[in-house]
Structures are given as structure tokens and as C-alpha cells.
Amino acid sequence: MSLPAMPRILGPNLGCPEILSPEQLHDIGFETLVAVGESVGQPGVGWSLRAVPSFAGEGATFDLQLEGRAGVGTPPAEIPDDALPEAFADVRHTRRLTSTTLRAEIFERKARFWVFRARTPALLPDDHFRRAHGQTRSTLYDLELWNGGQCVQRVPHALYLRVLSPRVRFVHLTDLHLAERNDLWACEQVSILTRPPEAFINFNDHTRRFIRWANEQADHGDLDFVLALGDLVDFVEQGITQPPAAPNNWQVFIEILTGTGNEHERHNPGLRVPVFTTTGNHDWRGNPYPPEMNARIFGLQPSRAEQLDYIYRDSSEAVGKRIDEVHEQLVKKGSPILARSWWHSAVSFGLRGLTVFWDRLTSRLVAWANSTLRYAFYALAALVMGGLGVKGYLPFDRQFGVLQGLWAQHPWSISLTAIGLCIALLAAISLGRDWLGTKLRRLIEGLLAIEKSLPGLRDYFLLVNPYFNYAFRLENSYFLVLDTGHDCLTGQSFWDEGGKKIARLSVKDNIIGGSPDTMAFYPPNTYFPYSQIAWLERVLDLIGRQHDQRAGEPRRCRVFVGLHSPPANLAAKQRAQADQAVQTNGGNPILLPKKMFGGYNVRYGTINHYLSQFYYLCLGVREENPPVEWGCGVDVALAGHAHWRLEFKLARPQAAPADWRPAVYYGEFARSVVHTPGAPDAWFGPLLLQTAACGPPNWPKAGPDFHESPYYRLISVEPDMQVSALEQQHL
């Protein structure tokens, strides 16, 4: 990888913008994280920062002052590492922690990270806002970094000039699965498929539809921002380099969100509100699944999906080599992780054994045919003629005589028949071996699809969001965005003892195309050098101290946690059982029992590590000392990943002992929060809410009620802390 150009603004950025009113922009300003070369002595000399409207004709360009360059204001501060502080003094300081990956891999430890405070010298007039429906509306700006009179970088949609409002209104969006492939396949339906489907499902178009809807809401002043929490792209490496194709799917994501490239041809103006992002397991993946593995989500039959090129031109050779390497590792050497699971006999031993069996059987049959072919001919001829004799009810001695007579009269016919039967047998063996090889290749392609690709995150870190974990505040609502990382079970895990990193893992959860667990909260993380649970503790402690807020008390603030992998989930069969139990209970929520038989596994396809600690923190205590009230608690944890809507609530069990464990309830909680009368500032949480996907349809697993993508969850927090909108919706 080449070293990124410097100086370079890392944050704010497209996926981690700043939202400020003109008053806040002048009085307080915002912190700008900049990467500079390691040899630069005093950064900031000759620099200037300019805000340019993201959309032409909306707002007006203005200059920002970088403080500290002339001894005025807050001096720039170097961030030497990403060590977790003992306590956060301000929620904005969470944006000083980037990632080890960004420093060590992308910048190769040849960059220094500095924080500058930027603000306007004077209060901006109203002509810096756009106008819609005759009203002043909040406006997006790009940031330009100038050095020595030359613009060295432009960061899109990094600053949102907000019209002051005590209400906070935002959207939870998840599982966009954007890819250039989606648009290409939509165009290829007529030219490639023999009979095009009635309606090809293009995930990209679902996001474009959502953008048009969101812009309408923003034009009426009814939307502040979007939380886009994971699986932003379907996979990273596009495999196409010819213009106008993008270098990878992060560029596709950027173009769709900003309305650039050829998006105007698709009637996509770009999103006019800021978007806050985090990664999902697909955002780590370098390669796609073969489409026939789950063809229905594209509106295709598997036989038709096989006609589509899913790897594409310039990546085919590299992927082919990787498949050969995986075949060598997985099939010939076996899989340590599978040897410890029920998959061992079916996959590890089975595939290896069947492959070796076909290899040996084919070679031995060929050798036998070469050395004893005439005896095979005799035997086959005898079988044929014997069958004729049996059919005619001839005695055995007469059958033998008939065989001799036929051989004497028709030796060439019998010989050719025997040869044909041998060829047919060998062809059947060959076809069976080819069939097995195809199935094996598909399995390996699926394993490659779940392998993490760290280089693929380069463009996300540089062009979208440099943070794995960060927090921000709008009015009295706080948003804690957590990364949940790659699939816990990756392709590499099958042969490199990857199981050593997997705890509480059911391989059943991770069958390709199923519901994979993720690496969230895994403490010895190579991507950020601190525990996410410790990070969460410190941020919740800060919020509690600033607002004198404790869990269970009337809310002076609302706390939302956003992450991709769900903290609670159910398999399809258990979800059906739970829905039936809710219906039997008159529509009221049910407690999910945890029993050996007849219980519920809420960990199915969820966060794999230290989930119990997360539950306790959401309830306002620490797991190591549950009786002691500690924190502010969490109102709502928003997630996706499973492509359907599920709603849970955490609670303390009644008459809880000193060592109580969180109880998990299942039901329709978002509706009850909005429609059930109660104190506006009541603590109804913690709720664990999954939102169905924006991109792929949801009917393959969730039934006919969940097929109208795009889905989203609109949430509104009023000045009195009442939550007046919380339910999932779809366009």
C-alpha cells in the first residue's frame, strides 16, 4: 500500500461529521484530527480551513480559523497513541482515539496525529443556510484544507450547520450492502440471462429511494441525521478497473451518499443530512458470496444466478490462486476447528475423504481398464447376454451356447457395446468427481467470502471514518457508536487454529449464509489497544456525571448505543415459538427462559465476547458488583445484521438476589413506548432493537411481513425527553 498524502484531515469526515449551530461554531468550534508527516516540526504553519457547501446553490462558503498557530486560542495537541484515558473530560474527546490499524498499517507509523480546534471568527449570518419550502434549513458543508495557497484535500459532508432546535430526530439505517455489482447485474439481466426475472432486486436502488425520502424529511425540518450502522458495502474488492467503474465499493458508497459520479443519471441527488457510520462484518470482507448461494435475495433462481459473473475480470486470477491455496489447506490437511465440531465428519473428514476416494477410484479404474480391458469386455458381454437368456427363460447351458453363438456371429457389435459401457462407467465416475469438485469449489468460495480483508478497510478509514468507536452529543441525547468487527468464524479460522479465539461459539450459528457471530468486545484486539467494555464504561460514567443521571431515574438525557451485531437475537424456529408465546399471552411481552430444554438461545448470531458485561452496563451497574448502582444506563441499543426486526428488553429479575443476572424479555416494545401513556421522561430501557435491512429483502427468513425493503427506524426525542417515534418503518 502506498502512503497516504499528508497533511490529511481524518475527522470530521463523511461518516463522522460535526453538527453545530452558528453560535456553537463561533463560541466553541470543533476539533479537527489531522495526520502530518513525521518530519514536520510545527504543524499548521501556512494552513487554512474553508467550508464549502456540499451542494451547489445551498449556503455560502466561509473560512474557519485554526487556533493556536499564532499563540491565539487553544494550541494544537499531538495524540501520540490511542491509549484509553482513565476518564473522558468531554464526549468529543472520544474522537481522539483512532485505531492501531490506521497508525501502523495505513500510515506505516510515518505520521503524527494532531488535534486542531477550528471555529469561525464571527457569527455566521443566515445566508449560510439553505432554503426549502420557504424556510431556513440545516445545511451540509465540505471542508477544504489549504496549505500554502493550495487546496490539498476536500472532505465531503463533514460539517452540518444546524438550525437550533430542542428536538432531536434521526434515523437508524442498517445493512445497505452497496456494491457496483448490483448496478451491473441490473443492467445485465436482458443481455446475459436467457429469460430475465420479472423484478431483479438492486440493493443500491433501495438506498437511493431512502435518500430521496430522507431529503424530503430534511426539507421540512424533520430529520437531523442518519445512523448507518454496518454492512455499508456488501464486500470491498470490486475487481473492475475500467472507467467508469469505481476502484472498490467504498467509492460506490461515497458516490451514492454524496450524489456524485454518475448518480445524477439514476436520479439520486445525494443525502442532504449528515450520516454517522460504523462497520459491519461485510465491510471487512474482500470478496463476495457466489450469487447462487442466496439467489432469492436478488429475485433470482439459483440456476439463473449461476449465469452471472460475480468475481469479474481483473480479480479472477487472484481469486483462483486463493481458491487453490485454500483447497490445499482445507481439504488435504484438514481443519482443526472443524475437528472439534459436528461438522467434522460432514465437511473436514467428508470432503477430504470423498476427494481422495474419487482420485484413487478413478486412477485405479483407468489402470484396470488399460491392463485387463478384454476381460472386462467378456464380463460385460456375458452380463448382457445372460440377461437376454434369463429374459427368454433359457436353461444355463443353452444361455452359454447362445453367448458363444452370438460372439461368433457378432464379435464387433459385442465389443463396441462393451467399450461403450466402460466409457459410460468412466464418464459417470468423471462426472461425479466434477460434481464433487464444483461443490467443493463453492464451499471454498464461500469461505473466501467471509475472510477479513484489512487492506479493504483502507478507504473506509481515510475517506469515510477513521474511528472504530466514538461518541457524539446532540442536545441532551448521546450516541455511542461501537464497532463489532469481522465474522468471529472466518475462512482462515478453518485451518489456522482460529478456534482459539472463539468462545461460546456454536458452529451451527456460523454456517455460510446463516447468522455469523462477530468479534465484538474481544479485548486483546489488534485493531484498537483497549477493551470496548472499558471504553463504554468511561463514556457512560462521563454522561452520568455531567447530568447527575442514574439508571431508573427520570431521564435528564437519553443514551443510544449504535452497533451492527445484535446484543440479542433468535434463530428462525425460536423466533416463531416466541411470537406464538406472545400471541398466547395476549400480545404482552414474555420472559425468555434459559433452560436446557424448551428455552431460548438469545446469543444466536450475536456478539461473541463479554456480552453479559454489556447487559449489566446497559442496566446501570457493573457485572462484578451488581447490587451497587453505578451508571446512567442505556435507553436503546440499535443493531441490525440479522436482516429482520426483533425487539428485546433487559430488566432486573424481581426480588433479585445479590448476584442477580439480567432478564431478557421479548415483545413489541417500540410501539408501547410511543403509544402507552406515561411520564415523558420515564426510563423505558434498556431496549435492544434490531432494524431490518435497507438493502436486501427480508422475506427469506422472516416471512411475508418483512419483504418491503428499504426498512429504517425513525426516532424522535422531544425537549421533555419523551420519545415520540421509535417504530420500524419501510418505504
pLDDT digits (tens, 9 = 90+) for 413-462: 766 777 777 777 666 655 655 565 666 666 667 777 788 888 778 999 99
Q: For 394-436, give the DSSP string.
A: --HHHHHHHHHHHHHH-HHHHHHHHHHHHHHHHHHHHHHHHHH
Query: pLDDT tens-digit profile of 598-643?
Result: 678 898 889 988 999 999 999 999 999 998 889 999 999 999 998 9
Q: What is the pTM of this model?
A: 0.86
> What's the pLDDT score for residue 298?
83
Q: For 214-268, give the DSSP string.
A: HHHHHHTT---EEEEES--BS-SB----STTS-SBHHHHHHHHHHT-TTGGGGT-
> What's the pLDDT score for residue 489?
78
> What's the pLDDT score for residue 491?
72
Find residue 637's DSSP bridge partners: 561, 688
**Is residue 280 over pLDDT 60?**
yes
Confidence of residue 565 (pLDDT cuts 50, 70, 90): very high
* Rounded average pLDDT over 161-184: 95
Q: Which residue has the higher pLDDT, 301 or 107?
A: 107
Confidence of residue 45 (pLDDT cuts 50, 70, 90): confident
**Residue owning grid cell 465389443:** 415
* Rounded average pLDDT over 144-169: 96
Residues in the chain: 731
Q: How far apart are CA 286 and CA 330, in angstroms?
A: 19
> What's the pLDDT score for residue 389?
45
> What's the pLDDT score for residue 233?
96
Phi-psi region of 118 (alpha: psi -120 to 50; beta: other; left: phi over 0): beta
> What's the pLDDT score for residue 295?
78
User: Apex CA 135: angle with CA 133 and CA 136, to 5°?
Assistant: 130
Q: Which residue has the higher pLDDT, 245 or 659?
A: 659
Could you say which DSSP state residue 179 is in?
Answer: -
Q: How far apart are CA 437 and CA 544, in angstroms?
A: 59
Where are the alpha helices (H) located in 552-597, listed in sequence order? 572-584
Phi-psi region of 610 (alpha: psi -120 to 50; beta: other; left: phi over 0): left
Find residue 590's DSSP bridge partners: 666
> What's the pLDDT score for residue 385?
47
* Rounded average pLDDT over 514-532: 83
Max avg pLDDT among 2-11, 535-544, 571-580, 702-711 = 535-544
Which residues touch 66 (CB under 8 Å, ≥6 apart)? 32, 44, 47, 48, 49, 76, 116, 117, 118
CA 50 from centroid of its chain's CA atoms: 34
Confidence of residue 700 (pLDDT cuts 50, 70, 90): very low
Least-confidence region, from 282-291, 359-368, 669-678: 359-368
> What's the pLDDT score for residue 306?
74
In terms of DSSP bridges, do strands 636-639 and 558-562 run parallel, antiparallel, or are they unpaired? parallel
Q: How far apart are CA 151 and CA 52, in angstroms?
A: 12
Beta carbons of 122 and 40 less than 8 angstroms apart = no
Q: How many other β-carbons are positioned within 10 Å of the β-carbon of residue 633?
A: 25
Q: How far apart are CA 151 and CA 46, in angstroms?
A: 12
Confidence of residue 347 (pLDDT cuts 50, 70, 90): very low
Q: For 520-548, give the DSSP string.
A: TT-SS-SSSSS-HHHHHHHHHHHHHHHHT
Listed in order, strand segments (DSSP E) in 431-503 are 470-474, 477-481
Q: How many other β-carbons are positioned within 10 Å of the β-carbon of residue 198?
A: 6
> What's the pLDDT score for residue 388?
45
Confidence of residue 366 (pLDDT cuts 50, 70, 90): low
Least-confidence region, from 263-277, 482-496, 501-515: 501-515
Exposure of 371 by Cβ count < 10 A (0-12 exposed, 13-18 middle, 19+ buried)? exposed
For 446, the enclosing helix (H) or strand (E) is helix 411-449
> What's the pLDDT score for residue 390?
43
> What's the pLDDT score for residue 439?
63
Confidence of residue 490 (pLDDT cuts 50, 70, 90): confident
Max avg pLDDT among 72-86, 285-299, 501-515 = 72-86
> What's the pLDDT score for residue 311?
61
> What's the pLDDT score for residue 597?
55
Amino acid at 534: A
Beta carbons of 139 and 58 less than 8 angstroms apart = yes
Beta carbons of 218 and 137 less than 8 angstroms apart = yes
> What's the pLDDT score for residue 243?
43
* Rounded average pLDDT over 220-240: 90
| Average predicted confidence (pLDDT) for the chain | 83
* Rounded average pLDDT over 29-34: 96
- Integer Rg of the chain from CA: 31
Least-confidence region, from 177-181, 375-379, 520-524: 375-379
Phi, psi of 325 (to 5 degrees): -65, -45
For 160, the enclosing helix (H) or strand (E) is strand 150-161
